[in-house]
Structure 1
Amino acid sequence: MPVVRTLLSQLSRAIGRQSALSELRWMQQALSNPPPGISPACRSLDEMVARRVRGEPLQYILGSQPFGPLDLAVRPPVLIPRPETEDWTLRLADSLTPSPATPFRTLDLCTGTGCIPLLLCHLWPPGSTHATAIDISPDAIQLATENAARCGISTHAHAHASTHPENTFTPILADLMHLDFANQALLEPPYDLITSNPPYIPQAEYDVLPASVKDHEDIRALLGDTPSPLASGMPSQDRAKGLTFYHRIAALVGEHGLLRAGGTLALEVGQGQAREVAAIVQAKAGVDKIDVWKDPWGKERVVVARR
């Protein structure tokens, strides 16, 4: 078809022919057979290609992103779930064994689309976890709520009192860096599992990110050097390394008793940050066993601590 060939040519000039062939096929599939409950953000192939040529992420154009067996809705400005996050969430799900008899209380900080706790809720047996998900962005909380509905996971906080056990997901709008965060977020410690993929990109690295990221995804979900009164107590060198949120999370765990004895803390980290984050967690969170997991590309990606 001449029109498709023209669009392929336009897309190839922007992203290369091999990528263009794959993406054009995915765009056609999204228009002809969209995932249940998800409508592409565009009504025509021409519009999709035009937006992609301008640098918009493909996931926003398609309206969805696979995450394990889930197909999550995505839209700007909420952070798009990444494959490395999917990888460690699946590994975490396999390494822990909650059950309806011994359910986990899970807390996910900086939840975005809700991808981490929703995947855990999906993979673990019904009634084995009750997840609370926190984010500063109303857009993220709204999208996470929609994704829970898409995944068939209850957002009713007290659904576990039902005679039919089920996993639950409770999204809460709150600012992790707020001085009174624990009360603002209605936290009810201790938790059996705390997870987070927090903002961790240093300012110097953020400044050189491609426009496809900076122009579309929320800076609050990316930049780890967020100015905050709480940052004044951190080493000055750490405030330029994207480590602000790790200091905050570790302090909350240590000072507020967020993690029960025997509980697990899992934090995604950026390139070259794992050892420093492990040291922060060890010093402030009161944990005594720390592991570093690598992602499928060989990068140290997750700090896993157990009390």
Structure 2
Amino acid sequence: MRSHYAHLGLLSQLSSALGHESARLELRWMMQALREASNRQRGSSLAEMVARRMSGEPLQYILGSQPFGPLNLLARSPVLIPRPETEHWTMRLSEYVTPSASRPISLLDLCTGSGCIPLLLCHLWPSGSVRAFGVDIASEAIQLASENTAICGFHTPSDNPPSQSPSFRNTFRPILSDIRDPTFLRKSGLYPPFHVVTSNPPYIPRREYDSLPPSVRDFEDRRALLGDPDSEQGDGLTFYRDIARLVANEKLLADDGVLAVEVGKGQAKDVERILQDQAKLPKTTIWRDPWLIERVVVATR
């Protein structure tokens, strides 16, 4: 009986912040996470989880996971939480590009975060059809991406330079590096060109950063959000210009390759021009997300 009243009290606390229906669902998910009692959740109590949620912490960090397509990826602050719009275009890309074990490809994901984009593609594409790499500046992101790689069952290749022998499995290797460093490819041991280059880079202008919800601003890494890291003013497009430079000067993309980058609301046309003019990728198309926002620019030669 005491636990029943405690449960009602916690539900009431959450309801005051989230509304009754959302609170009921979140409380149920918290209880399920506690029942499953993985190592990262051991020692938590329901009251502690509710207190964290009441402080504004995202539910995904409290539960320790986030669904992404058919995958269930680990989520941990401060690494960016995978979003539904990213899941949507990654699923679409898996149908737009169709590798096979007889025609395998290489993939590079810039600003990889949790590794969600390459890991979902590794899951969706046929076994032995892709060798994927992901780069991020944050050690926390690389650690989490490595854990997600292990959970998803895609071993990380260690041979350097890459072996040309066929593989029976798709592979993904997260790499700690700064894509804005002009020598990052050499330092990272990466060997362009790549058949597919993907990125969900930081793209929020500084003027918008301070108005982000506290659940985002206070818990997710600003390096994964702020699109103009070196300027108080800017349009949020710094990383797209860096990516364009890599494509144009470092031959990052194969001649018949595909570049797909996620963009913020209202940025698609500007990013399209950057890729056309600076990356010399004349063929571009814009994909909308499920909410009809122009969300992805896809570019080829």
Structure 1 residue 141, shift from structure 2 partner = 0.5
Is 1:80 the counterpart of 2:56? The answer is no
Counterpart CA distance in 2 for 1:164 and 1:299 is 38
Q: Percent same amino acid at aligned positions?
A: 57
What count of residue pairs does the alignment treat as equivalent? 296
Structure 1 residue 286, shift from structure 2 partner = 1.6
Q: Which residue of 2 aligns with 1:283?
A: 277
Please show how residues 259-278 of structure 1 align to structure 2 within 5 Å. 259-278=253-272
Q: Which residue of 1 aligns with 2:297?
A: 303
Q: Secondary structure in 2 aligned to 1:216?
A: coil
Q: Which residue of 1 aligns with 2:142?
A: 141
Q: Secondary structure in 1 aligned to 2:255?
A: strand
Q: Secondary structure in 2 aligned to 1:192?
A: strand
Counterpart CA distance in 1 for 2:42 and 2:164 is 38
Q: Secondary structure in 1 aligned to 2:157?
A: coil
What one-letter code is carried by the residue in structure 2 that aligns with 1:48?
A: M
Is 1:200 the counterpart of 2:207? The answer is no
Counterpart CA distance in 2 for 1:38 and 1:299 is 39
Task: Return closer, same or farther for 1:269/1:164 CA change in 2, 3 Å cut-off.
Answer: closer
Task: Return closer, same or farther for 1:129/1:157 CA change in 2, 3 Å cut-off.
Answer: farther
Please show how residues 113-262 of structure 1 align to structure 2 within 5 Å. 113-158=114-159, 165-227=168-230, 240-262=234-256
Cα contact 1:59–1:80 (8 A) shared by 2: yes
Counterpart CA distance in 2 for 1:113 and 1:285 is 26
Q: Which residue of 2 aligns with 1:52?
A: 53
Counterpart CA distance in 1 for 2:283 and 2:181 is 28
Counterpart CA distance in 2 for 1:130 and 1:157 is 12
What one-letter code is carried by the residue in structure 2 that aligns with 1:292?
A: I
Counterpart CA distance in 1 for 2:96 and 2:68 is 18
Q: Which residue of 2 aligns with 1:9?
A: 12
Q: RMSD across aligned C-alpha pairs, in angstroms?
A: 1.8
Counterpart CA distance in 2 for 1:17 and 1:160 is 55
Task: Return closer, same or farther for 1:164/1:175 CA change in 2, 3 Å cut-off.
Answer: closer
Counterpart CA distance in 2 for 1:50 and 1:247 is 42
Q: Secondary structure in 2 aligned to 1:204?
A: helix
Of 286, 296, 301, which aligns to 1:292? 286
Q: Secondary structure in 1 aligned to 2:147?
A: helix
What one-letter code is carried by the residue in structure 1 that aligns with 2:143?
A: Q
Cα contact 1:41–1:60 (8 A) shared by 2: no
Gaps of 5+ in 2: none
Structure 1 residue 274, shift from structure 2 partner = 0.2
Cα contact 2:260–2:299 (8 A) shared by 1: yes
Task: Return closer, same or farther for 1:162/1:5 CA change in 2, 3 Å cut-off.
Answer: farther
Counterpart CA distance in 1 for 2:43 and 2:93 is 36
Structure 1 residue 163, shift from structure 2 partner = 6.9
Counterpart CA distance in 1 for 2:256 and 2:248 is 14
Q: Secondary structure in 2 aligned to 1:194?
A: strand
What one-letter code is carried by the residue in structure 2 that aligns with 1:156?
A: P
1:228-268 deviation per Cα after TM superposition (whole angstroms, max 9, x unaligned): 8xxxxxxx9xx611000000001110111111111100000
Return the TM-score normalized by structure 1. Answer: 0.92
1:189-224 deviation per Cα after TM superposition (whole angstroms, max 9, x unaligned): 110000000000011111111111111110000000
Task: Return closer, same or farther for 1:41/1:81 CA change in 2, 3 Å cut-off.
Answer: farther
Return the TM-score normalized by structure 2. Answer: 0.94
Cα contact 1:65–1:72 (8 A) shared by 2: yes
Structure 1 residue 181, shift from structure 2 partner = 2.0
Structure 1 residue 7, shift from structure 2 partner = 0.3
